[in-house]
Amino acid sequence: MTTPRRCRYMTAATFVLCMAAVAAAPPSVQTVASVPHDTAKEIPMTKQAKGDFDVKLAPQALALEDASDGAKRARMSIDKQFHGDLEATSRGEMLSAMTTTQGSAGYVAIEKVDGTLHGRKGSFVLQHDATMTRGTPHLNIIVVPDSGSGELAGLVGTMKIIIAPDGKHSYEFDYALAETP
């Protein structure tokens, strides 16, 4: 896959937005798939939630500055509003690294989601890990084990982010509610 020109000189602060541009480059909708975590494999994902979401990213100061040559790091806050089967807000943080190789980068993020999932009220935490290798993205988003609270206690699952050619973000959340100890 060829990296779109607008991604060639991106900063770490625009990594997620550039992943969107890469995914949106073909005329059809692309899905950035997530790979289930071992815990999620043990419990069949029996439900799926779908909808749209809005995201705001804001650059933050790094805890440890790095003035050396090579990959550049960045830190951002994440604010999301989920709509659809998941009516919720989330807040989180992302750390990213941009390499000197065109179209290659990575990020990790943690976001706490608070709201209602198919009528069940509670919160849970999503963990992201992502790489882009010369323009080819890979994204893995899972529910942190045992992070569900309220009516979402025991929640396990994986989330896919879908980015339409017009830049609109949506999600598919495959999940199950496991028995809690």
Containing structural domain, residue 172: 5-177
- The pLDDT tens digits of the residues spanning 31-82 come to 343 444 454 446 789 999 999 999 999 999 998 887 788 899 999 999 999 9
- The pLDDT tens digits of the residues spanning 102-151 come to 999 999 999 999 999 999 999 999 999 999 999 999 999 999 999 999 99
Cβ–Cβ under 8 Å, residues 52 and 168: yes
* pTM for this entry: 0.79
CB atoms within 10 A of CB 2: 10
- The pLDDT tens digits of the residues spanning 167-177 come to 999 999 999 99
Number of domains into which the chain is organized: 1
Provide the CATH number for the domain around residue 60: 2.40.350.10
